[in-house]
Amino acid sequence: MPTRSRRKERKLKLSEWQVTALIAVVVLILAVAIWMLVRGEDAVTGPFEARLLELAAERGVAEDDITADDPIRKVGDVFVRTWMLDFPNRPARDGFLGDLQIEGAARGAQVAFPEELGAEIVRLQVGFDVETFDLHLSVAEPRQVVARPAEPTLVPSPTPKPEPAPNARGRIAILLDDGGQKLDLVSKAAALPKKVGFAILPFLPKSGETAVALHEAGHEIWLHLPMEPENYPASDPGPGAVLMAMNSDDLRAAVHSAINNIPHAIGVNNHMGSKATADLKTMTWIMQELKTRKMAFIDSRTTVRTVAEEAAQAQGVPTNRRHVFLDNERSAAAIRVQLDESVYRSRMEGEIIAIGHLDKVTIEVLSQELPGLAKRGADLVNPSDLVR
């Protein structure tokens, strides 16, 4: 008897456990079903609101152009979620409408157009069992571009140069560099007005002959002393150059030798020398040597950092500077422009020194223009006339 009673109890307990498990499964299924109904979503495609955002973004709608769930209201047993979307243009909005109809059909939703809200706004409702999306689809109003009056184009006009006084006269000294390389231009150079001076490079094949020929034709002779440039030794100033590495004795000897190589030289101007003329010690040694030879110095001003004039003045060497380069551009037109500048500045400032080169084009232009210089208000003078 006791054995049969225990077996019945075990069967009863097993039956109760099965019932409990069955109830739990049913509750879980119902919960899932209710959650899906409330959310109004499909397990495969995900939340409808997320899909709305994706479709809108594909049609060019930015997040700032979407107002979501404003407001949420309840109509009967259905929650109505109001969304407003602003599209960049009509094609984008119309494409979105097509996207929604396809998406709604795939989800088993009811798609309706309850009313038009104006020419630029379409109202669309996508309804699920307990949830409806009330969508207001508008097209962004085109920005009104206010035409601004065109601003007048301002054409800058050059500041007019001050005019020299009607009767103003100036003095111009011209010094042509780089003589001594060959003799083919010497005869033409010698025929220029005798006030034109020539600066001769030392230790070249024709240095001495050029100096003698031009001196005999009545021209002043100057030594065109080579000096170290900034990019030495890539740029070689030539034989007899004054170099920064020289001590005082070597430098003085180099200057002394170069002077002796150019017959009839009455003064010196620098060939290159952008580094040397910016060094006060170097220039002081040079000026001390020139002082002993009673020679003048004209600074070619190959660098704005030059201290050559200051060194010359400190040592009592007559000096001046180049004011105009005549032929940096070796064309007749450019040289004439620079000569015009020389005349103008001489009349405004009183006197200027113009430096050019012993070059075929330069000689031709000067031979044509210098005879009429006096009529233009400028007098040609020797370079030595403008050192002091």
pLDDT beyond 60 at 7: no
Q: Where are the domains of the chain?
A: 48-139, 170-386
Higher pLDDT, 139 or 9: 139
Give CATH superfamily name and number for 170-386: Glycoside hydrolase/deacetylase (3.20.20.370)
**CA angle (339 as vertex; 337, 343 as ends), nearest 5:** 115
Please tell me the CATH code under which domain 48-139 is placed.
Answer: 3.30.460
Query: What would the mean pLDDT of 337-350 be, rounded to a whole number?
Result: 97
Per-residue pLDDT of 199-252, as tens digits, reads 999 999 999 999 999 999 999 999 999 999 999 999 999 999 999 999 999 999
Q: Residue 373 has what pLDDT?
A: 96
Per-residue pLDDT of 28-69, as tens digits, reads 445 434 444 444 333 334 688 888 898 989 988 888 888 887
Q: Residue 33 has what pLDDT?
A: 44
Q: pLDDT confidence of 147, banded at 50, 70, 90? A: low
Sign of the C-alpha dihedral, residues 311, 314, 315, 320?
A: positive
Q: pLDDT confidence of 21, banded at 50, 70, 90? A: very low
For tokens 């007749």, name the residue: 332
Collapsing DSSP to helix, strand or coil, 360 comes out as: helix
* H or E segment to which residue 362 belongs: helix 360-369
* H or E segment to which residue 187 belongs: helix 186-190
